[in-house]
Amino acid sequence: MSAALPPTDRPSLSALRVVVAVGALAVGGFAIGTTEFVTMGVLPDIARGVGVDIPSAGYVISVYALGVVVGAPVIAALSARLPRRALLVGLMGAFLLGNLLTAVAPGYGALLAARFLSGLPHGAYFGVASLVAASLVAPHLRGRAVSSVLLGLAAAMLTGVPAATWLGQQLGWRSAYWTVVALAAVTVAAVLAVVPSSPGRPDATVRGELGALRRPQVVLTLLVGVVGFGGMFALYSYIAPVVTDVAELSRGTVPWVLLVYGAGGFLGTALGGRLADVALFPSLVASLVVLGVLLALVALTSPWAPALFVGVFLVSVAASVLAVCLQMRLMETAGDAQMLGAALNHSALNLANALGAWLGGLVIAAGLGYRSPSVVGAGLAAAGLVPLAVSAVLRRRDRRAGAVVPAAGAAPAERVTVG
């Protein structure tokens, strides 16, 4: 994977400053990961609190995801010219407001609206943060830099989500979102303090940014994320009743299952960055195949508690590798619209969130039980291989064409341009 940035275009920073700056960006990922995934852990509490059943409460998950889907491309396209540090602060401020409204929502309708608003800055934040992180390091380390930002999300699943779930169970579900409000405030302070200033792209236009959506490889990669990654969310959205009703464990076990999931996500995110730097496309294929197999095994073995813990851990590892590889693949194929490409990954993953939660709710409502979402998940992962196979065919064809008749002055295929 090559890069177009010459060394003089990268900020001259010490290694320590780079680590601290990327760490500050990861704090935002921690806040976002906590709010996105804690909803699954306190879903029964939310349902009781606003007077709806669990499948209806699942739409709280879906509407947040739809906010990400809408917000990521719109914000990324409209804000490409803006200075990136200021943009990060603005996005995190909007995220803080959405979670504050969630914490004080008086009923189900207000809660749905607040979760939609909370999701709007999600993808754009990760898109901008990924580009800033990648711009601070050498080309061969960019996969690891981007995965380090995403490690904030993984760390949230390891510690923030279980802790906020426990807090929500003890003090009421609203306390989980007050915790997120505090994390967002810390992020704003950290970004202002340690992230170096970074200009936007003054020549960027909305039409030019959205032009990335005309690229077949971008569209195919987005489809892989929407369909294939939806398999993970079909399981994870209903993990609380899987623990209590299928494995017949106590309600207090749910945070421990989430902790195991978080540990797998942390390992998978770190591993995904390294695999993306070494062999991006093969790693993308392998992670999707493994995810589908593991979801099928969880459907078979989840009544046995030890198998559920192991299965959840391995599903998380495979899904996290897939998420990092999708992020890097979109940054490769989006051309100059890399901020949009990076943001669109989170649109795709959150559309996957909405799809998985919705389909999982449908099979549960149909009376097929809480193991059925894992079966749906395995099917979604298998379906994700279809656009990935088409992408592989086009990729091979383009490489052959480039090798036979290289265009004069053409850029290397699938390069990363961080600007």
Q: Which of 6-15, 58-67, 297-306, 397-406 has the lowest mean pLDDT?
A: 6-15
Sign of the CA dihedral running 190, 196, 202, 203: negative
The structural domains of the chain, with segments of one domain joined by +, span 13-401
Give residue-wise pLDDT tens across range 171-181. 888 999 999 99
Q: Assess whether pLDDT exceeds 50 at residue 192.
A: yes
Give residue-wise pLDDT tens across range 302-316. 889 899 999 999 999
- d(C-alpha 382, C-alpha 293), whole Å: 9
DSSP at 214: G
Query: For 400, how many CA atoms within 13 A lie in the half-sphere containing its CB?
Result: 6
Give residue-wise pLDDT tens across range 148-176. 888 888 888 778 888 888 888 888 889 99
Q: Assess whether pLDDT exceeds 90 at residue 380.
A: yes
Give residue-wise pLDDT tens across range 322-362. 988 998 888 788 776 777 777 788 888 878 877 888 888 88
What phi and psi values does residue 2 have, to the nearest 5 degrees? -100, 170
The two tokens of residue 73 are 């491309």
Which pLDDT does position 13 carry in this prediction? 66
**Higher-pLDDT residue of 49, 341:** 49
Among 230, 225, 275, CA closest to 388: 225
Which pLDDT does position 214 carry in this prediction? 78
User: Which H/E stretch holds residue 15?
Assistant: helix 15-41
* Cβ 219 vs Cβ 213: under 8 Å: yes
CA-atom Rg of the chain in angstroms: 20
Which pLDDT does position 116 carry in this prediction? 94
Which pLDDT does position 94 carry in this prediction? 95
| pTM over 0.95, yes/no | no
Give residue-wise pLDDT tens across range 210-226. 777 778 888 899 999 99
205 pLDDT tier (thresholds 50, 70, 90): low
Q: Assess whether pLDDT exceeds 80 at residue 386.
A: yes
Helices (H), 120-211: 122-135, 142-155, 161-171, 174-194, 206-210
Average pLDDT on 251-266 reads 84
The two tokens of residue 97 are 């407001």
Q: Assess whether pLDDT exceeds 50 at residue 9.
A: no
Average pLDDT on 121-134 reads 87
Considering 97-101, 189-193, 261-265, the range whose residues carry the highest mean pLDDT is 97-101
Q: Assess whether pLDDT exceeds 90 at residue 127.
A: no
Which pLDDT does position 402 carry in this prediction? 63
* Those residues with Cβ within 8 angstroms of residue 68's Cβ, 6 or more apart along the chain or in another chain: 119, 120, 122, 123, 346, 347, 349, 350, 351, 353
**Higher-pLDDT residue of 402, 38:** 38
Superfamily of domain 13-401: MFS general substrate transporter like domains (1.20.1250.20)
Among 383, 269, 388, 387, CA closest to 319: 269
